[in-house]
Structure 1
Amino acid sequence: MKKSFFAVGTVALMILASCGNSASDTKTTDSTGMAPVDTGASTSTAPAPEGTQVAVANLQLTADSTKHIGTAKFYKLTDGKIRLDLEIDLKERADSNVAVHFHEHGDCGMKGENSHGHWNPTKSNHGEWGSAAFHSGDIGNIKLDASGHATKSVTTDLWSVDPGEKEIIGRAIIVHGGTDDYKTQPTGNSGPRIGCGVITKP
């Protein structure tokens, strides 16, 4: 009788131990299952742009200066060059090209006409950026996506924020409503001036 009781007790202890292990396994599985949720919930911040911001231009529609359509930010890099990070949001021109140029005067009045002609300190012919001949502000055509959004970056030693021939402070950035053909002098036949912003120090 004692042996039977002892055997039953032993079996009971083994069952309890087995249940304990099952509970432990279940807990581990649940914990692992939650891990991806925690990871997905965390967000990473984008790295700061390289260089020191030295200039900015806020772009507005020339027909309605209260409507913001983009931003141009300029950064001075460690090698002394200037990088432009340009962003445009122009739903009205979705799925099309717009041409962008620096113009001589930082005045967006008269629907951008007060900015006068292209900024051309080197007295070169108008053309595509990086070609044999182009103006120092010939940024050129930018393709807008289906929502009217586009970005473009340009890095060069042709610009400076210091006084002198290369100074971009006080110039205007003009967004044109057409496509630059990179041939017609001196404008590229780029269409009307639909957007404008003045380059200033931040």
Structure 2
Amino acid sequence: MATLHTLAAVESARQDIRKSRFLAIAGPVDSEAAAKAFIAAHSDASANHNCWAWRVGPAYRFSDDGEPGGTAGKPILQAIDGQSLDRVAVVVTRWFGGVLLGSGGLIRAYGGTAAACLRAAAKIPLIETAEVTITCGFADLALVEARLAGLPAARITAQNYTATGGAFTVSIHRPELEATLAMVADLTSGRATISMPR
């Protein structure tokens, strides 16, 4: 299965098609609530239509916002899926120019503007991660922190210090989880405590 990607940042693309202006704005989202907030933030009340689609894992929604059914939201969603993207929302805004495009023209306009925007966007791979807490004494702290900081598959997201040492909250790519935890155990000769929430 192809690795899914999300967007690194918000991207936009414009097209003028038979006097109508189309503006696509795409960005990363991590939940339905975030997708709704993105759509609300990037819709233009002065435009004729703000059509949109989003996908977060198996969940997805799309809207034609007054365009004929199936001519806007679905082609935008197909642009997201066609580029193996996930956790992405896209709004395509249309300012009507007075020339009717027909169903096929609308599908090409909305899907094409969304696809062009997504193609131009910087992407990052989505890799499932596990959150772990590693607790160790001061004698091992600096070495464990340095080793974790040097691993591309691990990212320290929080640090707390205690009277005897410290605890790191670490996000680790699942495929590297076992090897990373074994490395920590080896570095500390088994003195580190590792806990995984949930």
Alignment TM-score > 0.5, same fold:
no
Hey, which of these two has a bigger chunk of strand by percent? 2
Richer in helix (by share): 2
